[in-house]
């Protein structure tokens, strides 16, 4: 059964390019991103890992630890990292799991038999400090992910976890947000002193509260 939002993210021990890890211990009190790749030395994956490496500081600013996975072995991973660093002008500093027995892929339902019997699809999980699944995104093997979108949804998840707001379509950091329906307008005016714009009784905007 696939993981659903709010489910506990399965813990695991794994061999990675930075050594053996326990997933929960690796995350500690941080947010986490776990994302899979169909195989090493594939073109789309190479660009994805390069883009992630180039955004490492952005993930660190958000207290997010990144962990990638492929079903190939550590030797292939290390050789592939050299290629990634060379071709994408980056330095991969996050671990890549060697999931040769597909244990982690099985725990996270990363292999979809109708797409491939052996390779993982492009699954991505955002996991909160409480070790629960906050977001899942799954792409087919042929389509590369948009990691600026991953950063955007992390900004939204972290904001909405701490404030009684939601983020509208195409929201970007710093833009107005939506007051959640559970808060009455008179209470919202007190709670959000920067102002509340009422478009409809159920659609009310306020400036981003943590800015």
User: Are 196 and 205 a contacting pair, CB within 8 Å?
Assistant: yes
The b-or-e profile of 76-97 (16+ CB within 10 A means b, else e) is bbeebbeebeeebebebebbbb
90 is catalytic: no
SS3 82: helix
Q: Counting beta carbons within 10 angstroms of the beta carbon of residue 59, is it exposed (0 to 12), middle (13 to 18) or buried (19 or more)?
A: buried
User: Residue 132 pairs with which residues in a beta bridge?
Assistant: 8
Taking the mean position of all CA atoms in its chain, how far away is CA 103? 20
- What is 33-73 written as a DSSP string? EEEEES-SS-HHHHHHHHHHHHTHHHHHHTTEEEEEEESS-
Among the options 14, 27, 33, 45, which is catalytic?
45
Proportion of the chain in helix, strand, coil states, percent, rounded to 5: 30, 25, 45
Q: Catalytic site residues?
A: 45
């Amino acid at each position: 059964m696939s993981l659903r939002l709010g489910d506990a993210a399965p813990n695991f021990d794994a061999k990675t390019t930075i050594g053996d890890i326990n997933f929960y211990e690796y995350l500690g009190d941080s947010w986490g991103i776990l994302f899979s790749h169909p195989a090493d030395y594939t073109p789309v994956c190479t660009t994805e890992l390069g883009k992630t490496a180039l955004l490492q500081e952005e993930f660190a600013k958000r207290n997010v630890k990144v962990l990638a996975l492929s079903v190939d072995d550590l030797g292939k991973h290390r050789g592939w990292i050299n290629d990634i660093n060379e071709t994408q002008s980056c330095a991969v500093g996050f671990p890549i799991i060697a999931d040769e027995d597909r244990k982690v892929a099985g725990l996270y339902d990363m292999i979809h038999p109708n797409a491939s019997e052996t390779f993982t699809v492009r699954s991505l999980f955002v996991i909160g400090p409480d070790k629960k699944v906050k977001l899942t995104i799954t792409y087919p093997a042929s389509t590369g992910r948009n990691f600026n979108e991953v950063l955007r949804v992390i900004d939204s998840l972290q904001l909405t976890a701490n404030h009684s707001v939601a983020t509208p379509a195409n929201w970007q950091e710093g833009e107005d947000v939506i007051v959640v329906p559970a808060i009455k307008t008179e209470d919202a005016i007190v709670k959000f002193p920067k102002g509340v714009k009422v478009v409809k009784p159920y659609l009310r905007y306020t400036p981003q509260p943590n800015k």
